[in-house]
Chains A and B, each alone.
Chain A
Amino acid sequence: MTAGPLPRAANPFSTRFVRPGAIPYLFPTGLAVDTLLESFPPGARAQIVGPHGSGKSTLLTCLTEALKSAGRTTCRFDLHDGQRNMPPGWVKQACHAGADTIIVDGYEQLSWWNRWRLSRDCRRRTWSLLVTAHADVGLQTLLRVAPTIDDAQAVVARLLAGTEPLVGSDDVAECFAATGGNLRETLFALYDRHERRARGANNATVPSTPPRR
């Protein structure tokens, strides 16, 4: 180990800067959140489809805020690995929150029986339903998310704004290709590159502060 502590600027690809909600969803040209909301009227049931690390959760966070700004009340449920059921008491929770829109991140985890029950409960209460999935789950597709290299470059440019960039567009292209277009893994790979270069740069006087935004 090298000697002496060397406070440095935070790695702009740390998880606290790249987690869903930390960076806004960058819509492709010609598409805006308002357009998506128009395709998702009250009572609709729709899906956002995309592979791992494509930005579905980030888009969901963006849409949730837009729905609230539009006067709709949402209740969101994030399903993790192997979670085959909706959380116990979810209906009561949604009722008491006065929700008119149910949001489920990780819908394809639910068993077919629980999907049917979720749809039934939403229909009975005339709740809208918005879900994310890695593949088509039989609902109306609101958006199919497939990040391109340009999307990755734009996200990275946003993360690096106001910092001393140690990774360039070539790095982004290489990592994006190496991870098969998985944006999350691309950002993790860029974390490693940034970290390696920062250690090699010997920036002894840079204070330990987060990058300015």
Chain B
Amino acid sequence: MSRFIRLYEKKRGDRRTGSKAFGNLGEALFFGFFFVIGCAAFAFMFWMLLWPEWRANRQFAETTATIEDRTLGVGAASGDSGPTYRPEFRIRYTIDGKTYTQDKVYAVTGIYSDDKQIAQATVDSFQVGQEYPCWYDPINPERVVLVRGYSGWLYLFLLIPLSFIVIGAGGLIYTLLRWNTSAERQAVLTQRAAKLDLFDLDRANREYPTVPADVNVTNSPGTTLAYRLPMVASTGWTLFAVALACVFWNGIIAIFVTMAIRSIARGEPDWFLVVFVTPFVAIGVSLVVYFVREVLVHTGVGPTRLEISAHPLAPGECYDAYLSQAGRLTMNSLEVWLACEEKATYRQGTDTRTETRQVYLERCFVREGFEIHQGLPFESRCQVRVPEQAMHSFRADHNEVRWKLVVKGSVAGWPDYSREFQIVVNPNDGHDQA
């Protein structure tokens, strides 16, 4: 055992937190437990429900029985729920000249239910002394039922053991595959699983691994050029959140401000309250100013549209871009910039830390000192050139290199605004671009 599972490990180079094999054993036992429980529960339900009903419907033979007695069977109460009920009949029937009498006959599963009314109604529907069809087991004629069919809704309960089996088997397989596997081998197994894409949605991504798919762009045709670029962030939700914070904060502060003002009006100023509430009022006012600013930007500055002649882009190539800016604005300047930034995410303990760094910035377009009129958007074209040996777009779980076009507007008397449009740059490998 110690040959295969070391219970401890020494440190060599990269540190270890303990025996990987021992941890894997624990994991395997954990998932194995789920799997075993699931199998046992499924087997139990199959034996008690599935199999008997199937036999009753497919293999039992029909004959006629006479009802000798009928009663409402009462089952034991479980937990907090009351007693349960089922119809029970004593019947007499004849098979091959032999007469059988059986008690507590109804359905093959013999399940109780807590609905007394339905059970009683079933009992009442059979008359003592009358004959009714019944079905008996040819293998064991003493086994007989008065009704057949399937307890449809009960089969939903099979989902419970099935989910245990799936979780347990999946986890067990995953653990066994990872047992004593190197990081490289685990990565390969994960990548192979990820490649099982039945709908082949990510074909472009396989040609250029780690380059983000440009589906969001290429399924958005432009009206002037080939593609319309989607804007990165929607300000709608930001605005809503700021509004909510504004109302909530100022609503609470208003109570204290009112109390402070009343105390002053009474001639008995509560200076402690006044001093205490002042910084909170300042925060509230800042929130309102920020909210108003965002509203001005959001409503005053109309939609910005950016279209491009081709996508994805390639290093060293030149592309046409079409800019449309709506609104009723006096523009100090309107610019389009091509930018590239790196983004790194580090998660340790309770801290998630994301940092971005800009590594390329070039202005593609600028217009200064002009008016945009309501209903008549400003339109212009420009050239976007990706540098010859630019790094391509890259996206991994925690690290990114992303390219974007940024429209920056400086509006007279209003806050400046900036809108980003993500683009994808492919590697420069000499292949034909889209």
Contacts and interface: CB of A to CB of B under 8 A. Distances in A.
Interface string B10-33: 010111111100010011011001
B351 A53 contact: yes
Given A20-B348, A96-B26, A64 B18 contact: yes
Contact of A106 (B350, B359, B390): B350
A68 B23 CA distance: 12
B352 A15 contact: no
A80 B352 contact: yes
Given A68-B8, A96-B33, A98-B26, A22 B15 contact: yes
Contacts of B27: 93
Contacts of A184: 348, 351
A76 B23 CA distance: 11
Nearest to A132: B349
B346 interface: yes
A53 B352 CA distance: 11
A115 B14 CA distance: 33
Contacts of B19: 68
B33 A92 contact: yes
A19 B26 contact: no
Contact of B30 (A57, A79, A93): A93
A108 B43 CA distance: 43
Contact of B26 (A52, A93, A188): A93
A81 B30 contact: no
Interface string A130-168: 001010000000000000000000000000000000000
Given A96-B33, A97-B23, A76 B349 contact: no
A106 B387 contact: no
A21 interface: yes
A106 B30 CA distance: 24
Interface in B346-360: 346-353, 355, 359-360
Contacts of B17: 21, 61, 64-65, 76
B346 A109 contact: no
A24 B389 contact: no
Nearest to B352: A81
A15 B346 contact: yes
Contact of B348 (A19, A68, A98, A213): A19
A34 B284 CA distance: 53
Interface string B403-425: 00000000000000000000000
A184 to B, nearest CB: 7
B351 A52 contact: yes
Nearest to A74: B18
Contact of B8 (A1, A69, A109): A69
Contact of A1 (B346, B351, B360): B360
Interface in A14-51: 15, 19-22, 24
Q: Which 7 A-B pairs have the closest CB atoms?
A: A97-B26, A106-B350, A96-B29, A96-B30, A21-B15, A57-B349, A68-B18
Given A81-B352, A93-B27, 20 more contacts: A1-B360, A1-B390, A20-B349, A22-B14, A56-B349, A61-B17, A64-B17, A65-B17, A68-B8, A79-B350, A80-B350, A81-B350, A89-B30, A93-B30, A96-B26, A96-B30, A97-B23, A97-B26, A97-B30, A106-B349
